């Protein structure tokens, strides 16, 4: 708060907004980047953050519907690294198909990564269920056991309980998404039951 008050005093003393911004930039922490919303609100992000990080900081739905970004009133690629003092505006569309998995390569904030992963877990749940079921069945066959023999209620209920999944679809979805592995978690624990 002291630093913010000092910054506001500098602004009053300086007639030139560019001089104020230059002074402000040198005072900011080096491991963070400070950017502004179009309304002038300051947002703090990890150094190396992109407009994607900024969008998810504002709200998950803004990130999920993001189709572009303006930095300092100019359209820029959404993977552009933000600099101190940038004014960032997110362009959204109701027709957006959601985030891209490639975004995970560019975001720096844990918040953005988590929200993107949550979107994929939710929106690709059925695909993850099918993929997880296939992976578990392959692993059971790989260890040389008939699927019908190992995949019985008393065995999978023990695994569901251990990992706190409500039902088999939750387990399949987690394996399909990659949260847990079929070998390490399901098949290994079935042998113990």
Interval 75-107: pLDDT, tens: 999 999 999 999 999 999 999 999 998 999 999
Residue 167 has pLDDT above 50, yes or no: yes
Q: Which residues of 154-174 are buried (b: 16+ CB within 10 A; e: fewer)?
A: ebbeebbeeeebeebbbbbbb
Instruction: Report pLDDT digits (tens) over 43-76.
Output: 999 999 999 999 999 999 999 999 999 999 999 9
Position 193 scores a pLDDT of 45
Helix, strand, coil percentages for the chain (3-state, nearest 5): 55, 15, 30
Our CA angle for 90, 52, 106, nearest 5°, is 150
Local structure of residue 176 (DSSP, 8 states): H
Distance CA 167, CA 22 (A): 57
Position 51 scores a pLDDT of 98
Position 183 scores a pLDDT of 62
* Tokens linked to 13: 């003393």
Distance CA 51, CA 71 (A): 8
> Following DSSP, what letter does each residue of 121-136 receive, concatenated?
HHHTHHHHHHHHHHHH
DSSP helix/strand/coil, 80: coil
Q: Tell me the H-state helices in 66-182.
A: 110-123, 125-142, 147-150, 153-163, 168-177
Instruction: Report pLDDT digits (tens) over 99-154.
Output: 998 999 999 999 999 999 889 888 888 898 999 889 988 888 888 877 777 777 88
Q: Does the predicted model carry a pTM greater than 0.85?
A: no
């Amino acid at each position: 708060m002291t630093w913010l008050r000092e910054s506001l005093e500098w602004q009053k003393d300086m007639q030139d907004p560019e001089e104020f911004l230059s002074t402000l930039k040198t005072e900011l922490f080096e491991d963070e980047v400070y950017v502004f919303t179009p309304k002038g609100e300051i947002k703090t992000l990890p150094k190396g953050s992109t407009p994607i990080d900024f969008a998810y900081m504002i709200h998950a739905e803004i990130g999920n519907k993001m189709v572009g970004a303006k930095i300092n009133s100019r359209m820029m690629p959404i993977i552009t690294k933000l600099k101190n003092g940038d004014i960032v505006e997110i362009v959204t569309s109701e027709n957006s198909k959601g985030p891209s998995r490639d975004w995970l390569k560019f975001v720096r904030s844990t918040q953005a990564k988590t929200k993107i992963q949550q979107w994929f877990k939710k929106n690709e749940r059925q695909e993850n269920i099918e993929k997880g079921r296939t992976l578990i069945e392959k692993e059971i066959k790989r260890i040389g056991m008939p699927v019908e023999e190992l995949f019985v209620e008393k065995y999978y209920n023990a695994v569901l309980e251990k990992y706190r999944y409500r039902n088999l679809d939750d387990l399949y979805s987690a394996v399909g998404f990659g949260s847990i592995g079929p070998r390490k978690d399901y098949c290994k624990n079935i042998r113990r039951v």
